[in-house]
Structure 1
Amino acid sequence: MEKTMRENRKEVKIKGFLFFSFAAWRNAPLYKYDGPLVFAVKLTLDAASAHPSLVLSEKGRQVAWQEKHQDLPSSTQRFESLPCVLGQLNITSGRCYWEVEVGNTCSWDLGICKDNITRKGRITMSPQNGFWAIRLYEGDYWALTSPETLLTLGKKPLSVGIFLDFEAGDVSFYNMTDGSHIFTFPQNKFHGVLRPLFRLWSSDSGPLTIVQVEEN
């Protein structure tokens, strides 16, 4: 399989990574850059963490807003202030990648967070508080640094790729529509468990959909 992939792929250099063509990315279970493996993780959403305003699809790959709060049991795992949901994945090592279709969704946050972040009360999303994410809000894109960093994108992303290198402390975001780099957080030293993070802002936001990794 490796030989076939090597023969058929088109390699594109982006910020030190060797990536395949978009078609190969979506159909391959792993990617290679400078030798180490980058796994395209199969990811679903964790219903136990979902804010009561968020509704998940049956297969757990899409999140949308519903105006009426659901009557859900209180839990230490559930977000009660921020309308967020986590991915059903605990990351403690290695390099991994996932892709989220944002389409015309007008307001969202995407990224990673520590598993032990505060999920109740007033929360500021920043690396100091265990969040590494980017945001689209009222037409502007932001990196949730402290203070926030306004981002200038050449083309609106319809799909966003999140790349995480745990040992290197690298969290990077790419516009999968044109292959451009969106933002990389300054290097961190990660400890404990990290989780994929998704946020919607209101009923006008629209859905977020995890792009399915197909088996080869």
Structure 2
Amino acid sequence: MVAQPIDHCRKLFMKHESHEGNLLEKTESQPKVDDVDIFTAARLLQYLMLFFIIYMCRREYHKSGRCHYLIWLRTCFMEKTLSPGEKKENETRKEEIKPEQEELQKKLEELQNKLEKLQKEMGRRKAQFKSAWRNAPLYADWRKEEFEAVKLTLDAASAHPALRLSEKGRQVAWQERPQDLPSSTQRFDSLPCVLGQLNITSGRCYWEVEVGDTCSWDLGICRDNITRKGVVTMSPQNGFWAIRLYEGEYWALTSPETLLILREIPLSVGIFLDYEAGDVSFYNMTDGSHIFTFPQNTFYGILRPLFRLWSSDSGLLTIVKVEEN
């Protein structure tokens, strides 16, 4: 089937060479190429292009072991040059591969149906997860998708005189000699605490605190209007929701306190707050595991992050910086 256009191209080449020789014998008074020359060159170019297409088709045929591309291209570009026998052969070949095409189309439709079912199932499971994420407090990364990471610094006006804050307000440490600071209704004078500069009145948010090898600390949230003078018991009844590390033991400051057993010592603690749901949970950000969730509460007014160090050998606490998007 390929030989016919090739032979035709060869004849055209010979005719063109003969015609070119005749042109050389003409005098200089005939410088223009006549219409026959232009037509011959155009036909020659056309058959060269068809020859190239046939070559590429045969190449694809040998690579894939199928002749679908060849049949398609021959039908598109060479239909006018095919003999009746070749046209009949093409029709026969189309009929032969038609059942295979129908079978492939059927399998494609089956795969599309399975894909649609799989997508629906994934959507259903994702919806179930989103509706029940509070009941699956296993890993911190699950909650990060539902909570907003907040930029947080420490409020120097609330810091106990024994606490020293860093210049950027993200780190608190104990200092041997308490500062001589003016008295203020906002400042703690008995509990060595400091609050975060964040007023929370709605939404879901979280922040992380590096505790490292700090040996004694309290972390959590509290109401903005808590008592900051005199003796204060840290409990939910008094507006505190926090956990504590003291003398190697971890406690949830419930009433009474709850001893916590952690599978791994946290180097960083995550505090997750859902204001409307009354939910505050703590996570070990070292391994992502859940530490403790306070029983559901009803929050009102302003809530603020809470930090506490116990003594000069406590160490320091550092708020993890939120990366810019």
Higher strand share: 1
Whether the 8 Å CA contact 1:164–1:172 is kept in 2: the answer is: yes
Higher helix share: 2
Structure-2 change in CA distance of 1:142 and 1:20 (3 Å): closer
Aligned with 2:136 (options 16, 32, 35) = 16
Aligned with 1:75 (options 184, 203, 206) = 184
The answer for the alignment partner of 1:101 in structure 2 is 210
With the length of structure 2 as denominator, give the TM-score of the two structures: 0.57
* Residue 140 in structure 1 maps to residue 282 in structure 2: no
Q: Which has the larger radius of gyration?
A: 2
Q: How does 1:96-135 map to 2 (within 5 A)?
A: 96-135=205-244
Note the C-alpha offset of 1:19. 5.5
Whether the 8 Å CA contact 1:112–1:195 is kept in 2: the answer is: yes
The answer for the alignment partner of 2:151 in structure 1 is 42
Q: Report the Cα distance in structure 2 between the residues aligned to 1:180 and 1:14, rounded to whole angstroms.
A: 14
Note the C-alpha offset of 1:155. 0.4
Deviations 1:143-182 (A, max 9, x none): 0000000000000000000000000000000000111100
Structure-2 change in CA distance of 1:215 and 1:68 (3 Å): same
Whether the 8 Å CA contact 1:50–1:78 is kept in 2: the answer is: yes
Q: Report the Cα distance in structure 2 between the residues aligned to 1:59 and 1:15, rounded to whole angstroms.
A: 37
Tell me: higher relative CO, structure 1 or 2? Use CA pairs within 8 A at least 6 residues apart: 1
The answer for the alignment partner of 2:160 in structure 1 is 51
Runs of 4+ in 1 over 6 A off after TM superposition: none
The answer for the alignment partner of 1:32 in structure 2 is 145
Whether the 8 Å CA contact 1:102–1:158 is kept in 2: the answer is: yes
Whether the 8 Å CA contact 2:217–2:314 is kept in 1: the answer is: yes
Runs of 5+ consecutive residues of structure 1 not aligned to the other structure: 1-12, 26-30
The answer for the alignment partner of 2:5 in structure 1 is none
The answer for the alignment partner of 1:155 in structure 2 is 264
Aligned with 1:187 (options 260, 271, 296) = 296
Tell me, what secondary structure is at the counterpart of 2:283? strand
Tell me, what secondary structure is at the counterpart of 2:212? coil
- Matched residue type, 1:138: E
- Matched residue type, 2:324: E
Tell me, what secondary structure is at the counterpart of 1:128? helix
Percentage of pairs with the same residue:
82
Tell me, what secondary structure is at the counterpart of 2:157? helix
Query: May I ask how many residue pairs the two structures share in their alignment?
Result: 193
Q: Report the Cα distance in structure 2 between the residues aligned to 1:158 and 1:127, rounded to whole angstroms.
A: 25
Runs of 5+ consecutive residues of structure 2 not aligned to the other structure: 1-132
Structure-2 change in CA distance of 1:122 and 1:20 (3 Å): closer
